């Protein structure tokens, strides 16, 4: 973390601790706001691969989101979805390999990320972005999704059944319960405070927290899934994937790597090659 980010996080931590001191309801509300706020929005230079893209604005409700499109006439379009505190530019290494094979490509900056509007993002808002895109462009041949983009994609696909769409999940946010555990640990929340936050989340979403689980969703959908995960991922731990490794599903192919962590994994040349190989089967 940069010094500025550390100071921002320290400010939020103090603010949340004070709120919990006043009441658990207020503390949970403040903690929820941080949980949905991407703090890391560093400048990222525009890669040369994006120079040839058509930049467009997608209106989702009242929010304007920025997207990029290549080869729009292709019958096989690939949607690229980034993770929390990331942006479309960081997936430039997929552009040329996909274009060389004739695919169309769409890469989005999700709400509150990159050049898109907004300050917070919820899983249903990410899913709604995909829904609006598909209404405009049709069902995607495949989607490549990293981290938070992975759980949002799977949740959307469960609600909008399109079994022909291939799902490529790279270090996806497998269990929302784990994400919340890590978040609460970083804030040093007590068990009572954590329970209050979970209650707040479940009241807002109308579902138990473990409902937002790729392990659960994968058993419900029939899409072909290619899942790449690293043993040393500290953000989305490999332990969350174990249920699908020990009891594999016919529609899920899992590739385990070592030493790539949570972010390097999607940039690795071998990952790009594995993704292309899956698409070309």
The 10s digit of each residue's pLDDT in 151-206 is: 999 999 999 999 999 999 999 999 999 999 999 998 999 999 999 999 999 999 99
Question: What is the rounded average pLDDT of the residues 223-230?
Answer: 98
117 lies in the same domain as 199 = no
Question: What is the rounded average pLDDT of the residues 214-233?
Answer: 97
Rounded to whole angstroms, how far apart are CA atoms 181 and 240? 12
The token duo for 59 is 């209106």
- Per-residue HEC secondary structure of 197-240 comes to HHHHHHHHHCCCHHHCEHHHHHCCCCCCEEEEEECCCCCCCHHH
> For residue 1, what pLDDT band results from cuts at 50, 70 and 90?
low
The pLDDT of residue 184 is: 95
236/11: higher pLDDT: 236
Whether residue 4 is predicted with pLDDT greater than 80 in this model: the reply is no
Please tell me the pTM assigned to this model: 0.95
Question: What is the rounded average pLDDT of the residues 210-238?
Answer: 97
83 lies in the same domain as 202 = no
27 closest CA partner among 13, 40, 39, 37: 13
170 lies in the same domain as 185 = no
For the chain, counts of helices (H) and of strands (E)? 11, 8
Q: How many domains does the chain have?
A: 2
72 lies in the same domain as 144 = yes
Question: What is the rounded average pLDDT of the residues 114-118?
Answer: 96
83 lies in the same domain as 111 = yes
14 lies in the same domain as 3 = yes
Minimum mean pLDDT among 9-23, 84-98, 147-161, 211-225: which range?
A: 9-23
Rounded to whole angstroms, how far apart are CA atoms 160 and 157? 5
138/10: higher pLDDT: 138
**DSSP conformation class of 62:** T
The token duo for 172 is 């996806």
244 lies in the same domain as 198 = no
The token duo for 231 is 């043993």
85/1: higher pLDDT: 85
90 lies in the same domain as 166 = yes
79 lies in the same domain as 188 = no
Contact 106, 77 (CB under 8 A): yes
If 0-12 CB within 10 Å is exposed, 13-18 middle and 19+ buried, where does residue 42 land?
exposed
The pLDDT of residue 40 is: 78
The parent domain of residue 14 ranges over 1-35+176-207
Contact 94, 272 (CB under 8 A): yes
Minimum mean pLDDT among 3-12, 80-89, 135-144, 212-221: which range?
A: 3-12
Percent of the chain predicted with pLDDT > 90: 91
Whether residue 141 is predicted with pLDDT greater than 80 in this model: the reply is yes
Rounded to whole angstroms, how far apart are CA atoms 255 and 168? 11
> For residue 44, what pLDDT band results from cuts at 50, 70 and 90?
confident
167 lies in the same domain as 181 = no
């Amino acid at each position: 973390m940069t010094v500025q980010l550390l100071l921002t996080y320290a400010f939020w931590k103090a603010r949340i601790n004070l709120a919990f001191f006043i009441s658990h309801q207020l503390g949970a509300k403040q903690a929820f706001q941080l949980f949905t706020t991407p703090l890391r929005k560093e400048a990222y230079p525009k890669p040369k691969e994006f120079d040839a893209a058509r930049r467009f604005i997608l209106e989702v409700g009242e929010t304007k989101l920025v997207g990029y499109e290549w080869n729009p006439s292709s019958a096989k379009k690939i949607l690229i979805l980034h993770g929390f505190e990331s942006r479309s530019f960081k997936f430039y290494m997929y552009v040329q390999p996909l274009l060389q094979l004739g695919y169309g490509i769409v890469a989005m900056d999700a709400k509150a990320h990159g050049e898109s509007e907004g300050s917070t993002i919820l899983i249903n808002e990410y899913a709604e972005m995909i829904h609006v895109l598909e209404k405009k462009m049709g069902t995607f041949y495949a989607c490549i999704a990293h981290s938070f983009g992975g759980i949002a994609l799977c949740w959307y696909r469960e609600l909008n059944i399109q079994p022909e769409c291939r799902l490529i999940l790279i270090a996806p946010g497998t269990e929302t319960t784990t994400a919340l555990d890590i978040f609460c640990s970083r804030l040093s929340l007590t068990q009572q405070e954590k329970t209050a936050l979970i209650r707040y989340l479940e009241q807002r979403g109308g579902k138990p927290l473990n409902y937002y689980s790729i392990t659960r969703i994968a058993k419900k959908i029939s899409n072909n899934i290619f899942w790449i995960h690293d043993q040393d991922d500290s953000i989305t731990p490999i332990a969350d994937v174990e249920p699908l490794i020990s009891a594999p599903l016919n529609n899920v192919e899992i590739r385990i790597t070592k030493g790539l962590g949570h972010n390097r994994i999607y940039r690795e040349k071998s990952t790009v090659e594995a993704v292309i190989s899956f698409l070309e089967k």
